Amino acid sequence: MEKYISVMETAERWKISPRRVQVLCNENRILGAKKQSGVWFIPCGAKKPEKIKSGVKCENKKTLNVLSLFSGCGGMDLGFEGGFSVLKQSVNPTIHKDWKIKKDGDNWVKLPKNMYHTVFANDIKPEAKAAWNNYFGKRGLDKSCYYLDSIVDLVKLQKENKINIFPEDVDIVTGGFPCQDFSVAGKRLGFESDKGHNGKKIDINAPTVENRGHLYMWMREVIAITKPKLFIAENVKGLTNLKDVKEIIENDFSSVCNGGYLVVPARVLNAARYGVPQGRERVIFFGFKKSELTQEALEKLSADRIDDEFDPYPIPTHYLEKNNKSDNEMPFVTVRQAFVDLQEPEQSIDISQQKYSKAKYMGKHCQGQQEVRLDGIGPTIRSEHHGNIEFRRLSREHGGEYVEELDNGMKERRLTIRECARIQTFPDNYEFVIPKKEDDVSVSASEAYKIIGNAVPPLLAFHIAKRLEENWNRYFGR
């Protein structure tokens, strides 16, 4: 009868970390390994697999490991990794002269690769995982680092089974904890959410701390386990005017590791101020590990007003109104600019441009029944689209303003998947409508809308990542 040993015993025998053993198990590279109740068991006689190629890392720089929570399809992850294309109008070369931008055709530029490397990601939506794997796998990231599990279950699995789910040597933890319960577009139940950590209706007897409105507390648990130098949490602007929610969350984050983290006052960032063609406002929390900060950084970040050079929040690069702009800022990026070179769905070979919601016009009293303003800022791309994604073009009958397009035979239709992705600043080589592949599910157009709407705009995340990269030695020394 085959004898089995634990992950810990295997790690000691092969002189590698327990986390590495788990990765090899998830990749099916250990012959005969089996999983029971979430725990891997390895045959006693199993041989250590040969080395596999690691993920793409930044050359000639220290690499900082990023643990990503509530990752979705990876908007935040892409921003931290860098190395993707955006509209040339989205980058302000005067303010960011130090960014090593490369021209990528007439209308695009490629952002540089950053010093961060994603070592862990998770979400409960299989479609988000499928899209993440499809894109980041091609960039060289290890697909087995994406866990399709609730953060609550992962934390419990590590604590109760005393096995390493979360990797060691984590420098940064990021997480856009679920926002539906704080959004002005939702029921605004906040901490009293009626949804559980797995997205399903909560059992009346389930622990309150496991409801969707309290999932930031489980992000806090991961921070306590991994003890990163820095964490970044993101949520909707609506959180800031829902009772005293922002202050409660700041205090809860500050108390992690017995008060070991300095949480600077949260701030709302409008993505349009950073070259994103969308009026998307998000509140950002930064937490710094006090014991890792230099004495000067600790003092500066603790001040009532943080000096500009130590401020972790990125500098705005685009203005929304001419009479309210700072020096060197560029005008906001318009929807028309974002849609450059896009063909109509019938002519496009890009399946994400071919697909769009066929939901009929329901009247202006309903959400999402307006057409986009081509020369304005794009609408906030939402995560739940039950027929309410905005129109690219309305008919005359429904008040459409783009009569020239209508006269040229272009029909009333809603925004395509690719148009939503452009508004969010995802690059065109990110596929969203995907057939089933290996162990991943297929991604339909309906699900694509949702995972795009759930994401942090990659360009906004890039600004956050780059600001921290520039200040890293200032915060933590050399």
Q: Which residues have a catalytic role annotated?
A: 179
Per-residue CA distances from 370 to 189, 353, 394, 395, 412 (Å):
27, 20, 8, 11, 11
Sign of CA dihedral 29, 34, 36, 42: negative
Residue 454's SS3 state is helix
Phi-psi region of 171 (alpha: psi -120 to 50; beta: other; left: phi over 0): alpha
Q: Any bridge partners for residue 440, and if so which? A: 437
Sheet containing strand 85-87, strands side by side: 85-87, 108-110, 102-103
Q: E strands of 346-467, at which residues?
A: 391-393, 413-414
Among 261, 191, 298, 231, which Cα is nearest to 464's?
231
CA distance 118 to 21: 18
DSSP alpha helices (H): ranges in 137-264? 151-161, 216-226, 245-254, 256-259
CA distance 351 to 366: 28
CA distance 161 to 140: 31
Residue 234's SS3 state is strand
Taking a C-beta distance cutoff of 8 angstroms, is the pair 64, 81 a contact? no
CA distance 343 to 128: 26
Taking a C-beta distance cutoff of 8 angstroms, is the pair 33, 43 a contact? yes
Beta strands 85-87; 64-69: pairing state: unpaired
Among 157, 155, 156, 134, which Cα is nearest to 146's?
134
Among 85, 61, 119, which Cα is nearest to 462's?
85
Residue 351's SS3 state is helix
Q: How many helices (H) and strands (E) does the chain have?
A: 15, 17
